[in-house]
Amino acid sequence: MRKHGRLMKNIAGLLLLLALLSLLLPFCKFNAGDGNMTLSGIEVIKTGGKAGYTYFKEGRLSENYVIKAPYTWGNIKDSVSYINHAGGANILVFCAVAIAVPLVLCFLSMFMLFMAEGKKTMFMPTLFTLVVVAEMLLIVFGITPLRPFLKIGVYLFTILNVIALLFIIAGWITGGYRQPDKRQSRYGYGEKGDTNNDGDDGDNNRSHRRKRRKTRRKTKKKKKTKKDKSSDDDNKKENNEDSKNKENNKVSGESVTGVISNGSGIYHGLSWNLKDGKDAAVTIGTTFDAVEALESGSLRGIDSIAENNCRIVFDAAAKQYNIESHSKQAVLILQDGKVVKWLKNGDSYTVTSKAVLQVDGRRDAVKLG
């Protein structure tokens, strides 16, 4: 879900919460003996709580128990009995449902809005809010005989639901409930409508194979840690292989020049010149957020930089790059189109001939010249 969509649905949720709280104000009035009686949500809660406590304590409510002066429990029972005998039971049930439906749907919609995380989870709260608004507009403007009995609580409840619905619809119209495309940026990486944050569609199979290889290597590493001696031997072999790779790099391929350029993806348009000796090292991000934070120098992105960066140090005398990975995602070093090193978080590798640094599973790559 996009940032502005999350803002829209949270504002709508707060408005629905206020709508429910507005019913604590006076919401209706009716004739009671010589005068008018006004009901508010607070009075209903207090009266219902006292009646429930009395019933729980004594096991029943006496006929003279005062619900709200001058009405007693006996008066209410007689009224309900009279309505049943007069054939108005269906009307009584209809009125109870008409009162309960907007309250229940408003509460469910508010809860779902705060929990929603995409288009699918936004459908039901949108529908519920639409039903509540339709019913309340029908009661307020469609059934004119009810207007003299309605108070501020009902009107405020209706207005807040209408405003909440407008915010929800605005989120739908602006596409705020779609999955964000973090790669869509000024570097021109990613296309409109692309919701895959892990890589391009053409790289899905390749990414899957790399993840499988990575899983196998992790499994092998866990087995090796169980035996210290074998682990030491494996480390020696790995160091020997690295030294062989360095020798091979020196023999074949063009030597490094201290220029990092020709990037693609998040590195498109970026370049670093380390051969003049002024800046012998550079830190690059392995995600769009980290790249942008490093460019802007903002402290807001320090967390993303700390967990998604790769440091490249150029040694002009030895004509080599020392690459240190501090990234959650694996960093690949390719030469002649083949992966020569798979850098995990905390690993380092020395490059003596031209190579390509690429983020695993994506086309974010930069040439080490």
> Tens digits of per-residue pLDDT, 175-223?
888 876 544 444 444 444 444 444 444 445 555 566 666 666 666 665 5
Distance CA 123, CA 101 (A): 18
Strand ranges (DSSP E) for 23-138?
Answer: 26-32, 35-40, 66-68, 71-72
Distance CA 296, CA 290 (A): 10
Q: Is 268 helix (H, G, I), strand (E, B) or coil?
A: coil
Residues for the chain: how many in total?
Answer: 369
The model's pLDDT over 295-354, given as tens digits with 9 standing for 90+, comes to 777 666 777 788 888 888 888 888 888 899 988 888 999 988 888 888 888 888 998 888
Q: Which residues pair with 350 in a beta bridge?
A: 322
Whether the CB-CB separation of 177 and 118 falls below 8 Å is answered with yes
Residue linked to tokens 């829209």: 8
Q: Which residues pair with 348 in a beta bridge?
A: 324
Residue linked to tokens 């074998």: 230
Reported as half-sphere exposure (CB side, CA atoms, 13 A), residue 141 has a value of 7
pLDDT digit of tens for each residue in the chain (369 aa)?
788 888 999 999 999 999 999 989 888 887 665 567 777 888 888 888 888 888 888 887 777 777 776 667 766 776 667 666 666 667 767 778 888 899 999 999 999 999 998 889 999 999 999 999 999 999 888 888 888 888 899 999 999 999 999 999 999 998 888 876 544 444 444 444 444 444 444 445 555 566 666 666 666 665 555 555 555 565 665 666 555 555 544 445 688 888 888 888 888 888 888 876 556 888 888 888 888 888 777 666 777 788 888 888 888 888 888 899 988 888 999 988 888 888 888 888 998 888 898 998 888 889 887
Residue type at 37?
M
Q: Which residues pair with 260 in a beta bridge?
A: 272, 368
Residue type at 169?
I
Distance CA 316, CA 257 (A): 8
Q: Name the phi and psi angles at 139, rounded to 5.
A: -70, -45
